[in-house]
Amino acid sequence: MEFSANKLTKWAANIDQYFISSQHEDNSVNNTELFKAYLDTVAEILTEVAHKTTPKDHWKLSFMGNILEIRSKKLQHGFRFGTWLDIEFNMETAILFPQHISHMPDEFWKHVLELNEYGKFAFTEDSMPDFPSCLTLQAKKKVKSNLFRLARHCILFAAQQNKNDIDVEDIYEDFGSIQVSWPLNIKIEDLLNNISEVFTRFYQINYMLYRYEYIINHSKRKGGDLTPENCASCN
């Protein structure tokens, strides 16, 4: 994704000046203005990336401290960008409709795996299944592969869903999130390229899950019986 030289220069200056000022304990008006310029820069970057990546969707911005969330109208789902302890940039999104991950085709897992190419990728379990078993004991073992941990998490939650008579949405409410991070000293050109690539994959990952849920609900309203295979192949 290409950006004009003037925008790159302006964005880089606003980001650099903010982090230089944040190293000093100073609540001056100047620092407040630099912080606002930084937030405006992040908002401008994410808005441009979102519109170029998904031109048919509509987006709404909101701030939580130094974290910006850009929310998709189509998916009714947010993607967040900000800094963690002022030591790295971070882009993160919760996994939408995770109960359908087991029905996803290889393309879904390809999107997940490719996140490693554009920064430090991590899958975070926001909760664990709420029943004792050898599976939950196995889940406590540390593994390096984020892909394996995501697949294992799906299996554990599916086991809980089969064991308990609980609403599916309640079981998967705090399933987990995916994130990619970068050092603060990354070049602005590299940061923007990585943000674009990561955002594209975040969106596709959640869109495939959203699409699966949408087609299943649509089929139920029409009295049909859509199979996972048919749903996963729909565009």
Written in H, E and C, the secondary structure of 57-110 is CCEEEEEECCEEEEEECCCCEEEEEEEECCCEEEEEEECCCHHHHHHCCHHHHH
Per-residue pLDDT reduced to its tens digit, 70-90: 999 999 999 999 987 778 999
Mean pLDDT of 187-216: 94
Q: Report whether 145 contacts 120 (CB < 8 A).
A: no
Which of helix, strand or coil describes residue 121?
strand
**Percent share of the chain, pLDDT over 70:** 78
Which of helix, strand or coil describes residue 122?
strand
Mean pLDDT of 182-206: 95
139: which DSSP letter?
H
Mean pLDDT of 196-201: 96
Between CA 221 and CA 45 the distance in angstroms is 40
Q: Tell me the H-state helices in the chain.
A: 5-22, 29-53, 106-114, 134-139, 146-163, 168-171, 188-221, 228-232
Token look-up 């999107």 returns 111
Note the pTM of the prediction, 2 decimals: 0.85
- Token duo for residue 101: 């991950």
Mean pLDDT of 201-219: 92
**pLDDT value, residue 180:** 98
